[in-house]
Amino acid sequence: MPTISDTLVCRLAEADHVAVLTGAGISAESGIPTFRDPDGLWDEFEPQELANVEAFLDNPTLVQGWYQRRRQVVEEAEPNAGHRALKALEAHVPSVSVVTQNVDDLHNRAGSDAVIELHGNITRNYCVDCERTAAPEAVDAAIRNGEPACCPACDGLIRPDVVWFGERLPPEAVERADAATARADVLLSVGTSAVVYPAARYPVRAREHGAYVAEVNPDTTGVTPDVDESIRGPAGEVLPALVEAVADRSEEGAGAP
């Protein structure tokens, strides 16, 4: 087990608010590939070819089918020990915000109270015309019939509720993430390469506001030079050990005269 500093444990135990930035690495431990389909059905396509508005309008059935398969992979996966540890951290810190670049819904399924989804959520769909929410079953049924999935209310095309290449991040999510990282006493950067903006700026911004910043990642990342502490290891091992250490420290503090 990689070494976790007493400083980080103490700062977490004393924190009023903790922000956690998560990326593909934490979900990879649940068996979710970073972008490509695991069985190779879509290997002939580059993600950039399909994850954009132009491709969707040109061939909606193809794009909907790709995302349907990705959604099925996500729905078959389960939150891992890293996701569950972040939920457990809420028992020891008054406020925890999870800012995620992932679209797989695993933080929500693990029970985290405040999940900020910068890139959307692949389990949701909506109509591009009337913006009504669309059930995944509508997409599945259309794909089985070899037809594009359309809104039952207005016949508009149905798309996944994710951010595509060339699209802006949801303003509300960005606003919440900005606020969460600015007021954090501790920021944990977990399983992210920290090279995609604006998420990559959050660890640096939090540190500028006085937060103690630690990263949890098996490898060095784009933010490694800017953090207070790097813990080299998978989230599923490091985070449960970290939360256990915080719980022990909190109990010691509660028992002090």
Q: Find tokens 């794009």 and name the residue.
A: 63
User: Would you say 93 and 67 are in contact if contact means Cβ atoms under 8 Å apart?
Assistant: no
17 catalytically annotated: no
Kindly compute the dihedral angle of the four CA atoms of residues 202, 206, 211, 213, in this order, to the nearest 10 degrees.
Answer: 30
Q: Which amino acid belongs to residue 243?
A: V
According to DSSP, residue 225 is labeled G
Nearest C-alpha neighbor of 242 from the set 197, 190, 164: 190
Alpha helices in the chain (DSSP H): 6-14, 24-28, 47-50, 53-58, 60-76, 81-89, 106-110, 136-144, 171-182, 201-208, 235-255
Catalytic residue among 17, 92, 119, 209: 119
Catalytic residues: 119
